[in-house]
């Protein structure tokens, strides 16, 4: 069973990661989808995306939820009908969900050298403490991207910019946690973030401080 990892950052929050090893056919036959999601998955051109979508429904079941318990608002943010907060991510062969009593965000990304090419598009302050020649430069860039993506999902506000409105406090990979801020419309919001690496991927999630 490809439930890869379960974490409990606090007593009100649970993170679950799924390793997508099943075929599309096996996943499709093992989940039940509401009509609009059935049409959505059948319309996806990429099998990788279809498998990611279906693996998220497997994760929902691990939490005790059905596909019908999940819905999205006008900004595309997922919600659960019971009022719990949820955030969802998938990247290549991994997917993840965090469920909490608080607003949360999660992201998984594959560690790839090309993130260095676009680093200037999603960060500015962080260049002050990063060293391009460091062996863990790409790893740290991936952590920063994941943290900022988690903040974006948590905040769910149109117009929020990674570059202009978010920053990540200096950290080491070994610490596996850091603080991050959203500075938006003259208000500063502080968040606690944790991250970990596995099989060439990085996962980060953001929680209220």
3-state SS record for the chain: CCEEEEEEEECCEEEEEEECCCCHHHHHHHCCCCHHHHHHHHCCCCHHHHHHHHHHHHHHHHCCCCHHHEEECCCCCEEECCCCEEEEEEECCEEEEEEECCCCEEEEEECCCCHHHHHHHHCCHHHHCCCCCCCCHHHHHHHHHHHHHHHHHHHCCCCCCHHHHEEECCCCCCCCEEEEEEEECCEEEEEEEEEEEECCEEEEEEEEC
pLDDT given at position 1: 57
Do 107-208 and 3-102 fall under one CATH topology? yes
What would the CATH number be for the domain defined by 3-102? Answer: 3.90.470.20
Residues 20, 189: Cα–Cα separation, whole Å? 34
Angle 34-36-38 from CA coordinates, rounded to 5° = 65
Two tokens, residue 101: 């009593």
pLDDT given at position 75: 87
Residues 184, 160: Cα–Cα separation, whole Å? 7
To the nearest 10°, report the CA torsion of 172, 204, 16, 160.
170
pLDDT given at position 160: 94
State in words which class domain 107-208 has.
alpha beta
Residue spans of the domains in the chain: they are: 3-102, 107-208
To the nearest 10°, report the CA torsion of 148, 154, 160, 163.
-10
Largest CA distance in the chain: 51
pLDDT given at position 119: 97
Give average pLDDT by consecutive 10-residue segment, the chain, 209 residues.
92 97 96 95 95 97 97 93 97 97 97 97 97 96 98 93 96 97 95 98 95
């Amino acid at each position: 069973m490809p439930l890869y990892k379960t974490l409990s950052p606090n007593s009100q929050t649970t993170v679950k990661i799924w390793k997508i090893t099943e075929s599309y056919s096996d996943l499709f036959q093992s989940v039940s989808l509401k009509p609009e999601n059935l049409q959505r998955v059948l319309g996806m051109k990429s099998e990788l995306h279809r498998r990611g979508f279906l693996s998220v429904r497997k994760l929902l079941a691990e939490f005790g939820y059905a596909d019908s318990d999940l819905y999205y608002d006008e900004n595309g943010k997922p919600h659960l009908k019971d009022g719990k907060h949820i955030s969802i991510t998938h990247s290549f062969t991994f997917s993840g969900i965090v469920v909490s009593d608080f607003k949360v965000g999660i992201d998984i990304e594959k560690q790839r050298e090309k993130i260095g090419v676009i680093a200037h598009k999603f960060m500015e302050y962080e260049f002050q403490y990063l060293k391009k020649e460091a062996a863990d430069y790409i790893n740290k860039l991936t952590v920063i991207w994941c943290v900022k993506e988690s903040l974006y999902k948590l905040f769910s506000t149109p117009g929020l910019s990674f570059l202009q409105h978010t920053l990540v406090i200096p950290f080491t990979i070994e610490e596996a946690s850091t603080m991050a801020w959203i500075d938006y419309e003259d208000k500063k919001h502080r968040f606690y973030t944790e991250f970990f690496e596995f099989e060439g991927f990085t996962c980060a999630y953001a929680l209220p401080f």
